[in-house]
Structure 1
Amino acid sequence: MFEAETVWEFSMADRVKFGTGAIDELAAELDDLDCSAAMVVTDEGVFAAGIADEVIDALPDDAEHAVFSDVQPDPSVDVYEAAVEFAAEFDPDVIVGVGGGSSLDVAKTTGIVHEHGGDILDYVAPPTGEGKAIPDPGVPTIAVPTTSGTGSETSPVTVISLPDKKLKVGISSRHQYPNLAVIDPALTVSLPPGPTAASGMDALTHAIEAFTTRPYDAKPRPDSPDERPDYDGRNPFTDQLARKAIDLISDNLRRAVNNGEDLEARRNMALASMLAGIAFTNAGVGATHAIAYPVAGEYHTPHGETVATLLPEVMRFNAPSAFERYGEIAELMGENVDGLSRDERADRAAEAVSKLSDDVGIPQGIEAFGVDEDAIEQLAADTMEIQRILVGNPRRVEQTDVEGILRRSL
C-alpha cells in the first residue's frame, strides 16, 4: 500500500473557454445559468474602455445588471467590503469579473461572502483573520481576464491588501474557483506596454516557481494551522504546464509589449498565463512571492514588477537545491547551455530572466521602488511570517538569507 504522501491531487476551474472570439459565447453561458440579475465587477479603466459593455450586451434581454467599477490595483479590504455591500443591495444571481487579477479576485470573494455571510477577514487565515472555512460555492462567478499574468481566472486564491498593517493576505479555497473562465486574447490588445510587461513577468514567476517548488512528496506539513502550506507541491502534471508557460512567455512577451496588436503574441501570452496559473495554484510558489508581499505592502509596488525584480536573485539562492531544474529553465528560455557546468546553467537561467525583464522595461532593482539598506531587516522579518508560502521553497530560508536576497536585489 502506498504512503499517503505519494498521492498527488490536481484541481482547476470547472470550465475554460479559450480563444479569439470566446467572449461571443458568453451570452449562451449566461442563458444556461438562467441569469436574471448580473453584477459586473471591474475597474474604471476597463469600464471606460468599453470592455465591460461586451459583457452587458451578452446578458439575456430580461436580465437586470449592475456595475461595480470601483476596483483598485492590489485592492484593499475596503474595496472588497464595498463590493460585498453593493452585492447585498443588488442581490445578483451571477457575478462576472472583468479585468485584471484585482477585479477577478474581488468578484470571486464577493460571490462567497454574499452567499455565506460574514466579514471578509473571517475567511483569511490566522493570525490576521479567523480562518473560517468556506463550506460551499458562492454565487456563480464567471471570470473574463483582460490581462495575461495573474492566472486569477483559474485560481481559487484572492489577495487582499491591508494598508493599515502594510500587509497583503489571502483567501484560498477550492470553492473560490470561477464556474467559468472566458479567456479571449482579443480583450488584451488594448493593454498598454507597462501593464503587459508586468503581468507577463508575473506569469513567468508563477511558472518558474511552480516548476521549482518542493515536490508533492517532499513538502513539509507543519502542525500549526497558520503555517500549513496553501498548495501540495509540484507534480508531473504541473511540471508540464509550467514548462510550456516558460517557453511561451520567453518567445512572446517582448512581442506583446512592443506591438500590442500582435494577436498571435497576445494569444500565446494568454495561454501561458492560464497554464502558469493552473500550475502554481496546485504546485505553489516560493520565496519570490513571500518576499514580494511585504515589499509591495510597504512600498505599494505593482505585483508583477515586484516579483520580476526579486526573481533572479531568488533563483540564484535556490540553485543549489534545484540545479537541474534551473538548467532546464535556461534552455526553455532559449539559452545555449552546451558545455556549461550545472552552476553555470542555473546562473544562465537567472540571467535570462533579468534580460527579459530589462527588455520589457521592468526596473532592474528594488531600489527603484524606494527600498534601501535601512528597510531590509524589517522586510526580511516580515517575510519570515509567511511560512505558508516559504515551506514550498526548494531551499530552506532563514531571515539572513532573505536579507541577502534583498541586498543583492537592490
Structure 2
Amino acid sequence: MADRETVFTIEATLVTFGPGAVDDVGYEVARLGLHRVLVVADPALEATGALGRVLDRLTEAGVAHSVYDQIRVEPTVASMQAAADHAKGLDVDGIVALGGGSTIDHAKVANLLATHGGEILDYVNPPIGGGRTPPGPLMPLVAIPTTAGSGSEATTVAVLDIPDLQVKTGISHRTMRPAQAIVDPELSATAPASVIASAGLDVVCHAVESFLSVPYTERARPATPADRPPYQGSNPVADVWSARAIGFGGEFLRRAVAGGVEARGWMMLAATMAGVGFGSAGVHIPHACAYPIAGMRHEVQFEGYPSAFVPHGFSVIVTAPAAFRFTYDALPEKHHEAAHLLTGAPAEGPDALPDALLALMRDAGAPLDLETLGYTEADIPDLVAGAEKQQRLLVLAPKAPSAGDLADLFRQSMRRA
C-alpha cells in the first residue's frame, strides 16, 4: 500500500448562520482586519434592499466600500475577466460577495487575478487550461449567499462557461475558499421556485456524489503534501457532512420550492454542509456530464433566470439517476444509505437511489431528461467529448467510466416518461 494515500484533509469556511445573520457583516469584515472592500453583488439585490443593508452595516463598522454589480448569472471567461479587471484597479484589502453561486464565483476569480495576476485560462483546470497554482494566499473573501444552494461560500472552486469551446469548467485551489460565510435564510425569501429547485438539486447532487466518491485510500499518494488535490475522495469526516446534507435535501427541498422560508433556510445550511463534504471528497460523474450539458445549449429559458441557458443544478441532476445506477456495484451499501437518507424509507437495489432522485426532481418541477433541455441522440458524441475533458472529476468516481459508459449514461438520460 506504499503507493496509496493514507492521509486526508478537512478544511472549512467559518460560518455564521441564522435569520438576520447578514447584519453581522460589518463585525465580521472588521474582525478580519479589513478597511477597504469591494462588494461584488447581484444587481437584483438592490431592489430587494439586501445590498443596502450590507452597505449600511459596512459603513457603521467604519469599512470603506465600493460596489461591482456587472454579474452574469452563468459566469463566462469574459464576465469573470471584467470583474477581475475592475478589482485590479482598486486599492482594497478584501472582498464581500453578495448573491448566488455565480456572484460568489465571480468574486473568487476577481480576488485571484487581482492578487496574483495572470489570465483566467492560466488557472483553469487541465486539460482545458494551464492548471497554474496560485503562489500564495488571496485577500479575505466574505461570502453571503442569497439562494438555497450552490454551496460556493464553503468551497475552493469557481465554475465558468467557455463559449468558444462549448464547455463549462472550473478553477479550484484551497486559497480560493472564502474566509467567512454569512448564511441568512431571509435573503432567499424572494427567489423564484425554479431557482430554488435548481440550486437545491445541486446541493443534493453535491452531497450524494461526495458521499459516493472513491475512498481516499484508493487514490495515489501525492509526491508532496502540496500536490494533494482539494478533491481527495470520500473519508469519514466528509461523509458526516455529506450525509446530513442529503437528509436535509430529502426533508426540506420540496417545501423550499413551495416557498417555505424556514425550509429555504435549512436548504441554505445544507448547501454549506455539502460544500464542506465535497470540498474534501469531491464530485464526479454528474458534474463532469453537467459541464458540456450547460455549455453546448443556451436555448431553453427557465422562470427566474434573465436569459436562456441550462441552470447548473438542472444540468447536474439530469444525468444523476443514470450515473448512480452505473456506480451502484462499486459501493452498493453506500448507495442504499444515500437512498434511505433521501426518502427516510428502507432502500435496496440498483434502482433505489435513481428512483429517489427522480421522485425529488418531479416534485421540484425540474426537467427530467436531456430532450427537455434541447438535446437529441445526435449530440451524444459531443457530450461525451465534453465530459471526458473533466478528468479531475471523473477520477473521483468509485467506478471509472469509459467513453462508451458515458455515452450510455447520456442515452439513458435522453428521454424519460
Any conservation in 2 of the 1:228–1:388 contact (CA below 8 Å)?
no
| Bigger shift: residues 319-328 or 87-96 | 87-96
After TM superposition, what 4+ stretches of structure 1 lie above 4 angstroms from structure 2?
A: 1-4, 220-223, 227-230
- Aligned-pair CA distance for 1:335: 5.1
The corresponding residue for 1:90 is 90
> Equivalent residue for 1:238?
238
Give the Å deviation of 1:230.
5.0
Q: Structure 1 counterpart of 2:94, which letter?
A: V
- 1:91-170 to 2 correspondence within 5 Å? 91-170=91-170
Secondary structure in 1 aligned to 2:92? Answer: coil
**Given that residues 23 and 54 in structure 2 are in contact (C-alpha distance below 8 angstroms), is that contact kept between their aligned partners in structure 1?**
no
Among residues 383, 388, 392, which one is paired with 2:392 in the alignment?
Answer: 388
Deviations 1:119-139 (Å, cap 9, x if unpaired)?
Answer: 222222333322221122212
Question: Cα 1:17–1:336, aligned 2, differ >3 Å: closer, same or farther?
Answer: closer
Deviation at 1:355, TM superposition (A): 0.5
**Alignment partner, residue 295 of structure 2:** 297
Partner of 1:219: 219
Contact 1:22 1:182 in 2 (8 A): yes
- Report whether the alignment pairs 1:367 with 2:376: no
C-alpha distance 335-17 of structure 1, shift in aligned 2 (>3 A): closer
The code of the aligned residue for 2:311 comes to P
CA contact (8 A) 1:36 1:60 kept: no
- 1:87 shift after superposition: 1.2
Instruction: Give per-residue Cα distances to partners, 1:34-92, cap 9 Å, x unaligned.
Output: 44322111222223322221211111355432211111122001111111111122322
CA drift of 1:391 comes to 0.7
SS of the residue 2:396 aligns to = coil
Aligned length: 399
- What one-letter code is carried by the residue in structure 2 that aligns with 1:302? P
1:28 is matched with which residue?
27
Q: Secondary structure at the match of 2:343?
A: coil
**Alpha-carbon distance in structure 2 between the residues aligned to 1:122 and 1:286:** 23
User: Equivalent pairs: percent with the same residue?
Assistant: 38
AA aligned to 1:275 is M
1:69: which partner in 2? 69
Q: Is the 8 A contact 1:109 1:158 kept in 2?
A: yes
Report whether the alignment pairs 1:337 with 2:335. no
Q: Corresponding residue for 2:58? A: 59
- CA drift of 1:4 comes to 6.2
CA distance in 2, matches of 1:390, 1:83: 30
* Partner residue in 1 for 2:209: 209
Partner of 1:67: helix, strand, or coil?
strand
- CA pair 397-221 structure 1, distance change in 2 beyond 3 A: farther
Report how far residue 220 of structure 1 moved: 4.8
- Partner of residue 411 from structure 2, selected from 383, 407, 410: 407
- Check the 8 A contact 1:201/1:305 in 2, yes or no: yes
Aligned-pair CA distance for 1:232: 0.7
CA distance in 2, matches of 1:222, 1:126: 17
TM superposition shift of 1:229: 6.0
CA distance change for structure 1 residues 222 and 135 in 2, over 3 Å: closer, same or farther?
A: closer
Q: Is the 8 Å Cα contact of residues 5 and 221 (structure 2) preserved in structure 1? A: no
SS of the residue corresponding to residue 144 of structure 1 reads: strand
In structure 1, the residue matched to 2:253 is: 253
Distance in 2, matches of 1:297 and 1:311, equals 18
2:336 maps to 327
Q: Which moved more, 1:243-252 or 1:123-132?
A: 123-132
**TM-score, normalised by the number of residues in structure 1:** 0.92
Q: CA deviation at 1:222?
A: 9.4
1:126 & 1:288 partners in 2: Cα distance?
19
Instruction: List alignment gaps of at least 5 residues for structure 1.
Output: none
Q: Deviation at 1:194?
A: 0.5
User: Match of 1:263?
Assistant: 261
Partner of 2:199: 199
Amino acid at match of 1:290: A
Residue by residue over 1:237-277, the C-alpha shift from the partner in whole angstroms, topping out at 9 and shown as x without a partner, is: 11111111111110101111112xx3321221111111111
Q: TM-score, normalised by structure 2?
A: 0.91
2:301 matched residue in structure 1: none
**Equivalent residues of 1:30, 1:60 under 8 A apart:** no
The residue that corresponds to 1:281 in the other structure is 279
Relative to structure 1, the CA distance from residue 60 to residue 45 in structure 2 (aligned partners, 3 Å threshold; closer, same or farther) is: closer
Q: Secondary structure at the match of 1:237?
A: helix
Structure 1 counterpart SS, 2:5: helix
Point out where structure 2 has 5 or more consecutive residues left out of the alignment.
299-309
